[in-house]
Amino acid sequence: MRKPFVAGNWKMHGTVREAAELAGGLAAQIGHVDNVDVALCPPYTAIGTVRDAIRGSRLRLGAQDLHWEKSGAYTGEVSAGMLIDAGCSCVIIGHSERRQFFGETDDSVNRKLKAAVAAGLEAIVCVGETLVEREAGSTLAVVERQLAGGLEGAGCDQLAIAYEPVWAIGTGKVATPDQAQEVHGFIRAWLGRKYGHAADCVRILYGGSVKPDNILSLSAQPDIDGALVGGASLKVDSFLDIVGGSLKRE
Active-site residue, from 95, 122, 129, 184: 95
DSSP string, 54-93: HTTSS-EEEES--BSSSSSS-TT--BHHHHHHTT--EEEE
CB 15 within 8 A of CB 38: no
| CB of residue 119 to ligand PGA, shortest distance in Å | 22
197 in active site = no
- Smaller CB separation from ligand PGA, 159 or 208: 208
Between residues 27 and 231, which has the closer beta carbon with respect to ligand PGA? Answer: 231
Q: Which residues are paired to 91 by β-bridges?
A: 63, 123
**207 vs 226, which CB is nearer to ligand PGA?**
207
Minimum distance, C-beta of residue 241 to ligand PGA, in the bound complex (Å): 14
Least Å distance, CB 218 to ligand PGA, is 12
d(CA 195, CA 184): 16
Residues lying near ligand PGA in the complex (CB under 6 A) = 9, 164, 169-170, 207-210, 228-232
Question: Cβ-count burial of 218 within 10 angstroms (0-12 exposed, 13-18 middle, 19+ buried)?
Answer: buried
> Which is catalytic among the residues 104, 129, 133, 164?
164
Nearer to ligand PGA, 151 or 175 (CB): 175
Q: CA 62, CA 154: separation in Å to the nearest integer?
A: 20
Tell me how far, at minimum, the Cβ of 209 lies from ligand PGA, in Å.
4
8 Å CB contact between 198 and 156 = yes
Give, in order, the Cα–Cα distances in Å from 163 to each of 27, 81, 250: 27, 26, 23
Helix orientation angle between 106-119 and 139-151, rounded to the nearest 10 degrees: 50
Element (H, E) at 39: strand 37-41
- Closest-by-Cβ residue to ligand PGA is 230
The least CB distance from residue 57 to ligand PGA, in Å, is: 22
Distances (CA, A) of 84 to 8, 76, 154, 164: 18, 17, 20, 26
Concerning whether 129 is annotated as a catalytic residue, the answer is: no
Taking the least distance from each CB to ligand PGA, the nearer of 195 and 203 is 203
Active site residues: 95, 164
